[in-house]
Amino acid sequence: MVSAQTLEEIRALLDAHGLAPKKSLGQNFLIDKNLVRKLVDESGVGQGDLVLEVGPGTGTLTGELLDRGCDVIACELDDGLARLVGERFGGRPGFTLVRGDCLSSKRALSPDIESAISGRPFRLVANLPYQAATPLMLVLLTRHPECLGMAVTIQKEVADRLLALPGSKDYGTISVVARATASVRRIANLPCECFWPRPRVVSAMVGLERLPDPLTADPVRLAEFCQRVFTGRRKQLGGLLRSLGLTPDPWPENIDPTVRIEALGPVDIERLAEGCRVG
């Protein structure tokens, strides 16, 4: 059994492999054992479940997931950390290591992850590298219905956007897509002291559970529509859509063309996306 690691253990592992945290890759290691266990508890995963972990680092979370009987696909971009985590867990049943970026583009998982998942239902459980969080979650929410849920540690500002309500400054594409496809909850805010090295920003744990009846039949279309219209979030809706070459046909009932897109909830934005055509 591999327990969660202390700061001293993480440092020793890195030193033994001649490694150090890389600021350029957002490598901040979660050093609170209780929070590692809490993230797994909140994810609901257990024996036989398939888990995607992006950014395993030195394997603190990886070990906890394997100890609970999960099959873990761990994707690590950093060559040194990939070697380290591969040496630690390569002989354990249910462990698969994918080396490289988790995304092949902003719209697709890497082919190696796709191959490892092989169409099975899975959950994302990860202390996500900050730069990967939003694009990865968008890809999973829009293009991978077999991703049943997520329990992730991310920047608090990303968590705020996920949970944002219409009319707030944080409300945008990820807010709409998340609420149209999943139930979203904040698990905890994490101060900088929970990580080493200490990041300059506060983090948060967030849980998402895919809705059995999503608010959209086409989350890809919804996301692409949002990415276009939220560029003009302060403009009146009617003029904004005309300027973008989007014409609702017909204009949805009970949506005022003088309001701003940021004032509309996911249901109304989905109605607009469904009714708009390029023209």
- The rounded distance, in Å, linking the Cα atoms of 70 and 241 is 47
pLDDT at 105: 93
pLDDT tens-digit map of 75-127: 999 999 999 999 999 999 999 999 999 999 989 999 999 999 999 999 999 99
Structure tokens at 122: 């899975």
Structure tokens at 47: 């024996």
Q: Long-range CB contacts (< 8 A, 24+ apart) of 209-214? A: 209/148, 209/149, 209/182, 209/183, 210/145, 210/147, 210/148, 210/149, 210/181, 210/182, 211/181, 211/182, 211/183, 214/180, 214/181
Tell me the domain boundaries of the chain.
7-210, 219-278
pLDDT tens-digit map of 130-151: 889 999 999 999 999 999 999 9
pLDDT tens-digit map of 204-255: 999 999 999 999 999 999 999 999 999 999 999 999 999 999 978 889 999 9
Architecture of domain 219-278: Orthogonal Bundle (1.10)
Q: Which fold does the domain 7-210 belong to in CATH?
A: Rossmann fold (3.40.50)
Residue at token pair 């890759």 = 25
CB atoms within 10 A of CB 79: 11
At 59, give phi and psi (nearest 5°): 95, 15
pTM (predicted TM-score): 0.94
Contact 73, 53 (CB under 8 A): yes
Q: Strands 103-105 and 108-109: what pairing?
A: antiparallel
CB atoms within 10 A of CB 212: 5
